[in-house]
Amino acid sequence: MPAEWHMTPHRIPDGVRRKIRERRPFFDDIYCLFGDCGTGGELDAVLLEEGVERISGHHCFAFYAGAIDFDTLQEKEPATFYLTDFFVRHFERFTLRHLGLDTSPELLSDYFGNFRRVVYLAQSRDRELEERAELAAARLGLPLEVVFTGLENISDALDSWRISR
């Protein structure tokens, strides 16, 4: 799915439906590794209609961190801005430009004034990405916490689907 859909979540359900129907002739089983990401449950309704299971978690942050770990992170500090490897790589485009902060930096406190920290949920051990996450957090004026998640939760979900077949 195009990453831009995170900024236009109303496009996710129909886009996922199209992708499922396009790929169904080629696969016995289809699983969704995409979070609700702001669809308000519409994605899950499409998946139910199409008979497709989705990885647990409301969004990518929850399934990268694992539900329990994500809840713990949220309880520790609810005013957290989360980054993943993808969002670190595209911070300029998806955060600064999309919110207009590249041309109107005075809006920074309006958008991020209530946040207390940035948590980078790192799926890979990559020093360059950590440095970019540090720059992103500094740009927002927030402290950074790096939490290595790896891809274990996604791997576990895939394994459980394989076993249940």
- What is the tens place of the pLDDT at every residue in 29-43? 899 888 888 899 999
The ranges assigned to domains in the chain are 3-54, 61-148
| pTM to 2 decimal places | 0.83
- What is the tens place of the pLDDT at every residue in 83-124? 999 999 999 998 999 899 999 999 999 999 999 999 999 999
User: Higher confidence at residue 152 or residue 68?
Assistant: 152
Q: How many helices (H) and strands (E) does the chain have?
A: 9, 5
Amino acid letter at 55? I
Strand partners, 31: 53
Measuring CA to CA, which residue among 9, 2, 6 is closest to residue 95?
A: 6
Beta-strand relationship, 117-122 and 80-84? parallel
